Amino acid sequence: MSLKNLDRQLAQRRQTYRAVLDNPFTNEGCLWPHVNDQQHVWELIQTSILSRYSALAKVPVHERPLLIITDFNEIVSHLQKGGTTDELNEEKELLLVCHKDQDVPAVTLQQVPLLVYMSQKNVTLVPLPKGAFPKSQRLLQQPLDSGLMLVRGPEIQSLASQIAAKVDKSRLPWLDRLRFEPTALKLLKTSAPLKKPMEKAGKKVVKPARQT
């Protein structure tokens, strides 16, 4: 076999890598909790949360018994805040995620399960079925760029317990004893020459030996 034919044969294959061991950082499917009877849960969310919130559009925000946050930065900031003992035991929240729709960027959502798992808030992560993204936008009558909806308020406490009972608990044992610390970013002020010194080709610069 000629070298040309060998190169052509090798060009039809490419180098790939497969995980031999169970790696939680590459198996993203295990990060999302399973929702039992998902269609029923999705119907409850549409009728009792999304449609209800749309009906409260004319009510001032601070007077609404139901609040839905859709801004990504605001949701992340809320989940990262610590909570008091009373808040952890009493106030229940739902984080609805449209992670199966193509219109939602996957890179935006890939850290959400870890964030919820590490949060001190009493929040239940609820993955929604495919097609929930456009339906949610129509019911809320507002854009939903992040694919996230954080649901809070006294009106949904009983419903939140009912939905949480349908969602399997996430199991991320490698994070059980881990707590994130804020990153200390610092810059050292120094200087560097504008141009590197040019060395003559074929010659080495020999430093003279220090005399003692």
Q: Where are the domains of the chain?
A: 30-175
The CATH class, in words, for 30-175 is alpha beta
Which of these ranges, 21-30, 36-45, 65-74, 84-93, has the smallest mean pLDDT?
A: 21-30
Structure token pair of residue 56: 């409260």
- Tell which phi-psi region holds residue 147, choosing left (phi > 0), alpha (psi between -120 and 50) or beta: left
Cβ atoms of residues 105 and 15 within 8 Å: no
Asked if 108 contacts 72 with a C-beta cutoff of 8 angstroms, the reply is yes
- Place 146 in a pLDDT band, splitting at 50, 70 and 90: confident
Tell me the whole-structure pTM to 2 decimals. Answer: 0.69
Q: Crossing angle, helix 157-164 and helix 38-45, to 10 degrees?
A: 170
The β-bridge relationship of strands 148-152 and 123-127 is unpaired
Q: What is the DSSP letter of 47?
A: I
Residue type for position 26: T
Provide mean pLDDT across the span 186-205. 61
| pLDDT beyond 90 at 98 | yes
Q: Which amino acid belongs to residue 95?
A: L
Torsion sign across C-alpha atoms 50, 99, 78, 88: positive
pLDDT of 48: 94
Burial class, 175, CB count within 10 angstroms (exposed 0-12 / middle 13-18 / buried 19+): middle
Neighbouring CB atoms inside 10 A of 47's CB total 11
